[in-house]
Structure 1
């Protein structure tokens, strides 16, 4: 694991976007896994700017969505699918057949998980996975206590996650489950970027990077990945010793 501390959110987002651009230039058919949400938002926006400025073609890339709220339709503004469609797909022109998101309305969520795993394995694994870290240390919807040995799975959501998640919805929304890639996918990805910014993430970053590696704090698994970069700003780094 490599740790890089940036001056601010803009600087770390610039570098995260550069990492993706560099990979796609080197490997035009790269398999990318991105999250939605406030942490990766600027990275996605800068990625679009850089791709257009440098004429980088994403049409041969495979896109894997990290997770989704179970029961939330893709046209809901709070859904991960809505985020990807508006911040990524309509700008970068991924081939529709190369976009793989969880269908959180499926009557057979286990089948959705198996299908996603098959896509990842058939494409030779994930080349670059970008993740954030939740206030409780989750990655995707891999909540505290989850096994490090799972691939895609359905996860009951922690109270912290459901409370924080309300910020993405216009009105109060019942959130009880998520469908997500597992931490085994993270460990098997060729490269992982973990992003965190702001004072509010300082305590969880300190625990994840300096405490015990444990499934009680899923983000601590990043230290077991030999080609991972933790990218944080100065505010998120204030508690590190």
Structure 2
């Protein structure tokens, strides 16, 4: 696992956008994994700037979303398909239908989850998966206690996650759905490169467990320690609980330029 500590979200976004630009130039059919929440927003803004400047195109690429609420109306602004459309998909040149998400309004939820897994496999898997982390260590909506071998499925959100997400629902925790569809931890681990972004002191404890703690279903993100190519990008506040913070800074400062992110 590579840990990269940067001054702020904009510096992090630039590094991630550099890697995505490199992938798109090498292989325009690159498959991206898109996350919602606050963590990836600066990345999306930077990608849009590069697209508008003519540096990159998504016209031949595909993307898969991590998760989706169950039961939100199709036109609800916080339905994750609409959030992704608003924050990135509708601002660049993805082809129609190139961005897919799990169907949180499907009549047959288990079948919809199996179909989503099949769609990712049919696309050849995800090349680069963007991730955030919850204050309780969840990634996507894999809450504490999630199976490390899990695949796309329905999950019940914890009270903590619903409180954390209430800010997107005008502060009304009762408006946050109780259920979601989420890629499982094993699904996420199948991506070729995991890129997790965390900023702010509120993520410091979860980041400490992710990077330096034991692998445990109680801190689901720790499964990333078993991934052959996982990159964790942090600001100083999110990195404040790391025992080896100075070493991580030294490693990145002396990293061979040819390695990229």
SS in 1 for 2:155: strand
Say whether residues 1:203 and 2:205 are aligned partners: yes
Q: Give the drift of 1:54.
A: 3.6
Displacement after TM superposition at 1:171 (Å)? 6.1
Partner residue, 2:38: 38
Distance 2:64 2:54 in 1: 23
What 5-or-longer segments of structure 2 have no aligned partner? 244-261
User: Within 5 A, what are the aligned runs for 1:1-241?
Assistant: 1-170=1-170, 172=172, 173-241=175-243
Measured on the aligned residues, the alpha-carbon RMSD in Å equals 1.3
Following superposition, the deviation at residue 55 of structure 1 comes to 3.4
Tell me how far 1:134 sits from its aligned partner: 0.4
Is the contact made by 1:37 and 1:80 (CA closer than 8 Å) also made in structure 2?
A: no
Q: State the 1:62 CA deviation.
A: 1.0
Q: CA deviation at 1:74?
A: 3.7
Partner deviation per Cα, 1:59-82 (whole Å, 9 max, x = no partner): 111110110111112422222112
- Mapped to 1, the partners of 2:71 and 2:221 lie a distance apart of 25
Find the aligned partners of 1:219 and 1:171 in 2 and give their Cα distance.
26
Q: How many angstroms apart in 1 are the aligned matches of 2:75 and 2:200?
A: 29
Residues 67-98 of structure 1: CA distance to partner in whole angstroms, max 9, x if unpaired? 01111124222221121111112211211232
Unaligned runs of 5+ in 1: none
Structure showing greater Rg: 2
How far, CA to CA, are the matches of 1:47 and 1:105 in structure 2? 30
Distance across 1 between alignment mates of 2:214 and 2:13 = 28
1-structure distance, mates of 2:225, 2:127: 18
Runs of 4+ in 1 over 3 A off after TM superposition: none
**Length-normalised TM-score, structure 2:** 0.89
- What is the CA–CA distance in structure 2 between the aligned matches of 1:17 and 1:174, rounded to whole Å? 31
